[in-house]
Amino acid sequence: MNFNSPGQVVIAGTAAAVARAVEQAKDAGAKLAKHLPVSVPSHCALMHPAAERMRERLKQMKIETPRIPVLHNAHVRAENDADAIRDALVRQVESPVRWVETIQKMTAEGVDKLVECGPGKVLTGLNKRINKTTQTLSVYDPETLRQARAALGV
């Protein structure tokens, strides 16, 4: 499950359960309810076997203390201890994404600019719905990277 923005929640589960939920949401008057074409039911209990495999792999990796705070959106906290970071990463595989709370926490801690890196602008749109005063810069090609760097003064 993802708590993406006020009014937007994404659910995960078996294909049949999601199909039933989409129909129930439509029947209840949802503005939009649709099946998303994804390959796995991310962020739900069905991912537990993958989470356990990830736990085993992460045990073999050296994790250093982050130089900047990294909020884990499974529990909306920053971790500094390597074992706590590993646990947060594993939990994220099968825990709801608490994006709204994550953005709210960053804003409360003084963050006023965010950078979305990737092929789209999904998070940029979500962030505008969560907090209109926090600027999100979307970086997806050399020109938008230049613009983001200029806006950030780097």
Task: At 89, list the tokens.
Answer: 């990463």
- Name residues whose C-beta falls within 8 Å of residue 101's C-beta, 6 or more positions apart in sequence: 3, 73, 76
Q: Is 11 contained in some domain?
A: yes
- pLDDT of the residue at 120: 84
Task: At 119, list the tokens.
Answer: 């092929």
User: Mean pLDDT in runs of 10 for the chain (154 residues)?
Assistant: 88 94 94 90 95 97 95 95 96 95 95 93 93 94 96 93
**88 and 120 together in one domain:** no
- pLDDT of the residue at 144: 95
Q: For the chain, what is the domain count?
A: 2
Residue pair 7/129 in contact (Cβ under 8 Å)? The answer is yes
Q: Residue 117's domain spans which residues?
A: 112-152
Q: Is 107 contained in some domain?
A: no
Task: At 154, list the tokens.
Answer: 């780097």
- pLDDT of the residue at 7: 86
Neighbours of 31 (CB within 10 A): 8
**64 and 128 together in one domain:** no
- CATH number of the domain to which 71 belongs: 3.40.366.10
Q: Is 104 contained in some domain?
A: no
- pLDDT of the residue at 151: 94
**7 and 78 together in one domain:** yes
- pLDDT of the residue at 29: 93
Q: Is 105 contained in some domain?
A: no
In this prediction the pTM is 0.87
- pLDDT of the residue at 2: 86
